[in-house]
Structure 1
Amino acid sequence: MVKPSGQREIVNFIRDKYNLSERKSCLTIGISRRSYRYKSRKNDDELIDALTRLSQEHPGYGFWKLYHKLRDLGYIWNHKRVHRVYVSLKMSIRRRVRKRLPTRIKENISIPLEPDECWSMDFMSDSLYDGRRFRILNIADDYNRELLSMEIDTSICSARVVRVLDHLKQQGRKPKHIRVDNGPEFISKNLQLWAQENKIEIHYIQPGKPT
């Protein structure tokens, strides 16, 4: 379905191309002459300026966050008008698609018969009295539940995980397998390359099956 603005453009094209009158051109398209002559009295310049300024200050904001920000600043435009201008300015942010994990093979968890046969590695998190969050990387031997390492920091990336494993390797501790979940630090290329270089198998649990 062609919008009225598009119909008016078609009428203008027909008038210029075939030198027809306004009345005949409107009859051909099926639009009334009143609709063809209509000119919006709305001036969106202020709204465009406000939206553009807010989107530059908050590049990660989507439509509703920008709309509520405008309301907080005292503007009274309704959401339909703001959305129309938002779409016309092509400000829509692409929705992040969650990365699809590969199918994990279900494996029965068994107790190793000797040390350093299989380790388990996982994160825990907590917060300080002032609200700051911190993470704890725990590495344990499944044979006797020995805690091999406990790394604590406000942020622990995949490169940090590899450094901790390298430190354990320098101490003479190296497993045959490491069991982890599907967290971003564990499915990263850094850990996978390190495991290949050291001939260690990474066993991933099924998504949503922490036990």
Structure 2
Amino acid sequence: MRRTCQVLRAERSSYHYKGRRRSQAALMERIKEIAATRIRYGYRRIHVLLRREGWAINQKRVYRLYKALGLQLRNKTPKRRVKANLREDRCPAVRSNETWAMDFVHDQLATGTKIRVLTIVDTFSRYAPAIVPRFSFRAPDVIEVLERVGAEIGLPRTIRVDQGSEFVSRDLDLWAYQRDVTLDFSRPGKPTDNAFIESLNGKFRAECLSAHWFMTLDDAARKCEAWRRDYNEVRPHSSIGNKPPIELMDRSVADGPH
């Protein structure tokens, strides 16, 4: 060791030095708690609150821990998005019709015309309330589908979506506010944040989109609906004990609103 330090021209005291930094666990936990309850606070405001509570820390340490915890605010957030759940630990659904996930799948007709398919799944029962193909989707089109499905089985408390333009629109946010539904947005570039809908989309593409030619939009709608019914009522799902999703739906939900 002496010879090595001499060759490298390094002090032996540096080799023997052991850091005395205290554990940051309590501080990190407090930063997470503040960020969870004040989702629009950045590290500067969190630092002010921590100083008020008596934490003797500087802003640089707060920034380093804030960044390590992945708590950066999202700049893509529109100015008005009241019913957005931007940064909060997710809890798994404990009953059907509590949390849905929603996304788009792209495909095309036999003529080459592109179509988009809106897919929705219940994260507890894996029930798919709607699979709707159209040539294009805007926020009002998404709202129309949600209103129709809501009239049939009711609306959930939360809908998980990505950062697509249809989902971040003011129209959908206003609709969610009026219906008391929270839009739970995934982090950009993190498809695992919405794993339930990704799983549904994979099965849908392998078993329906890749297995059929769609001659017209009506033909696509019929085949997608036939697959959806089979998925809900017949197809065994290993994640729910090889049962079809319809068996896990609450009776009041499965039979429709009274």
The structure whose RCO (Cα within 8 Å, separation 6+) is larger is 2
TM-score where L is the length of structure 1: 0.50
The alignment's TM-score, normalised by the length of structure 2, stands at 0.41
Give the greater-gyration-radius structure (CA). 1
The structure whose residues are more often helix, as a share, is 2
